[in-house]
Amino acid sequence: MFENEYVGLFVLDGSLSTSPDHYHNARTRAIGFNERIDYIIFSCTARNFLDPGSCPVEDMKKCMKDLSDVIAAVIDLGPLSRTNTLEQFIQKLLVDRESAQLICDTAATGDAQGTLNLLQAEIASALVSNWKDSNDGNRSQPTYTPLELGDPTVTLYGNPEYFILNAANQISIQMVRGQDRSGPIYDDDRLVKETMEINERYNGAGSEEPGRQFLTEYLFGYFWPKSSPMPPLGNPFTSGIIAGMLYDPRTPYTWTQEMKVGFPITHLLTSQSTGHTLAASDPDCHRLIEQYFQVGYPTFTDGQVCEFGFADDTDLSYVFTA
């Protein structure tokens, strides 16, 4: 991309943990995901304080918890497998901002069917409204089919067989992490107990998504035959840039800080974004990396933080997405 003499420069954007320990990786991933959920929910409150009405719900954390309880009352998918459905409903909650608080208030009463009826009515109304706004006379009025909530294929994360069933598209990652890390799990009771402990402490506003993230990461060491752990990553003589996002859903910011410790003379670059990688989530901040490739050295002070606005409705719509 850059035709100059600066070749072999070093940038890590969205770092993995430097620790080879399975439990450490799984726990810090869960904590990071929980922090992201809490921050996005807090952003709703902060936006309403700065600009009343900019977020459609008064207490989004309580609403998410109430909606999660409603979904749990309707479907029987176990404690770690309702977040996909919950995120669908959070997205629909934002379709008609005027009805959002009514939906949350109804969920707070425990009226599961009433809440689902309101949510699905808003989806149907939005479809018809969009059809009226864009109708060119050639399309018939759309109809809405109510969501089916009992699909047992929503997730497989609650079953240790996930390690095998999900291997088709992640086999290389699973093999590398299983082989390179220490602390594999050979005890089913321990796996269940530690997952439940994480799930109780970091429950993601009642969604239990951090627990799913923990289990996803921890299963890389589930009955792994015999590993050959790598030493902790790092090099005291390598310069460059270590970049990370404060609320990254895939590589928590704690891992970025660990990587900075492992490469102490690099420059730390931090974005306040909720996304994954600077290139995808904070193009303005990413320009500092582009400048590094152009001139051959970091043009910012070590510890530079790129400001980023509070999470908006787009972030809220995908609050549980990794």
Residue pLDDT tens, the chain, 322 long: 444 565 689 999 999 999 999 999 999 999 999 999 999 999 988 988 999 888 888 888 888 888 888 777 765 444 434 566 677 677 766 766 778 888 889 889 988 777 777 776 655 454 444 444 555 555 454 444 444 444 434 333 344 444 444 445 567 788 889 899 999 999 999 999 999 999 999 999 888 889 989 998 999 999 999 899 989 999 999 999 999 999 998 899 999 999 999 999 999 999 999 989 898 889 999 999 999 999 999 999 999 999 998 888 778 877 877 6
Query: What pLDDT, on a 0 to 100 scale, did the predictor assign at position 56?
Result: 85
DSSP-derived letter for residue 269 is: E
Query: What pLDDT, on a 0 to 100 scale, did the predictor assign at position 162?
Result: 42
Query: What pLDDT, on a 0 to 100 scale, did the predictor assign at position 114?
Result: 79
Query: What pLDDT, on a 0 to 100 scale, did the predictor assign at position 110?
Result: 85
Phi, psi of 312 (to 5 degrees): -110, -170
Helices (H), the chain: 22-50, 60-74, 83-93, 97-108, 112-134, 162-165, 167-180, 188-201, 209-218, 253-262, 278-281, 283-295, 313-317
Instruction: Say which amino acid occupies 321.
Output: T
Across 15-43, b (16+ Cβ under 10 Å) vs e yields bbbbbbbbbbbbbbbbbbbbbbbbbbbeb
DSSP-derived letter for residue 5 is: S
Query: What pLDDT, on a 0 to 100 scale, did the predictor assign at position 77?
Result: 40
Of 132, 110, 113, the residue nearest 121 (C-alpha) = 113
Query: What pLDDT, on a 0 to 100 scale, did the predictor assign at position 154?
Result: 36
Sheet of 304-306, strand order: 11-13, 241-245, 267-271, 304-306
Residues 6+ apart with CB under 8 A from 92: 119, 120, 122, 123
Query: What pLDDT, on a 0 to 100 scale, did the predictor assign at position 80?
Result: 37
The Cα 130–Cα 117 span in angstroms is: 20
Model confidence, pTM: 0.79
